[in-house]
Structure 1
Amino acid sequence: MTSLSDGSADEQWLDDEAGRIVRPYVMTRGRTQPSRGKIDLITLVVTINPVITAEPGLGPEHHTIVKLCDRPLSVAEIAAHLDLPAGTVRVLLGDLVDRGFVAIQEPARETDVLDLETYKAVLNGLRTL
């Protein structure tokens, strides 16, 4: 980091490896949690209203998410495409869900996946092999 006398004011907020330090905080307006509760990394997101008008509070990242999600993508994939932290993407997705631009499909709950009868059937099938 440089002092103000050594360079421009912008240089103090840049790091060659990390990029801009304050940007994700500014994009989320200081929020750290999405308005929709918990959004996992494997939650699927798909655009349901591809036309975003000039709405207050929606930035270019919101528009990019809507364009990316013309096919279902996970939160992790969206974060990778945008080169943003997953927490930041979760907050942005909460904004878009609240305004009806995207829909999210939460992952199956562990109780839904852990069906004892299914495990018994799989085990019996393996024994017959």
Structure 2
Amino acid sequence: MTDGRTRPEPGSPALDLDLDLDLLSHVTADGRTLDGAGPARLGPEHRTLLGLCRSRHRSVAELAAASGLPLGVVRVLLGDLLALDCLRVSRPSPPGHLPDQDILREVIDGLRAL
């Protein structure tokens, strides 16, 4: 499936995003298809991953669980798909950037008072 690779191809834009492909990264298919495109090494596992994230965004962990593939394999395959611009990856907000729970509680109380 990965031809022995543990990381995306050298020079791939996916290498820059390798750290972004953690368990909580959200992956969304952008609508491109692999029919007739891409290197010959793209196989049914690539298509499976594309199909899983075509209907909605999924985390890398969800994709690994749903596909039955090991996480490391999923990350390499996602890197291949990123290099072909078939996917978009976004990271959830880190906990330090989320609003404080007390502020959220005040907003809720203010809305209830309306």
TM over 0.5: yes
Q: Which residue of 1 aligns with 2:73?
A: 88
Residue 31, structure 1, aligned to residue 5, structure 2: yes
- The Cα of 1:107 is off from its aligned counterpart by 2.2
* TM-score, scaled relative to structure 1: 0.63
**5+ long unaligned stretches in structure 1:** 1-26
| Pairs within 5 Å for 1:40-119 | 40-54=22-36, 55-56=38-39, 57-70=41-54, 71-113=56-98, 118=100
**5+ long unaligned stretches in structure 2:** 9-14, 108-114
8 Å Cα contact 1:50-1:67 kept in structure 2? no
- The Cα of 1:85 is off from its aligned counterpart by 0.7
8 Å Cα contact 1:48-1:103 kept in structure 2? yes
Percentage of identical aligned residues: 39
- The Cα of 1:121 is off from its aligned counterpart by 3.3
Alpha-carbon distance in structure 1 between the residues aligned to 2:81 and 2:7: 14
Q: Which residue of 1 aligns with 2:11?
A: none
8 Å Cα contact 1:50-1:66 kept in structure 2? no
What RMSD in Å do the two structures reach over aligned CA positions?
A: 2.2
Instruction: Kindly tell me the number of residue pairs found equivalent between the two proteins.
Output: 96
Per the alignment, do residues 123 and 92 of structure 1 end up closer, same or farther by CA in structure 2, a change over 3 Å counting? Answer: same
**Higher Rg of the two aligned structures:** 1
- The Cα of 1:109 is off from its aligned counterpart by 2.7
* TM-score, scaled relative to structure 2: 0.70
Q: Which residue of 2 aligns with 1:5?
A: none
8 Å Cα contact 1:43-1:107 kept in structure 2? yes
Per the alignment, do residues 88 and 121 of structure 1 end up closer, same or farther by CA in structure 2, a change over 3 Å counting? Answer: same
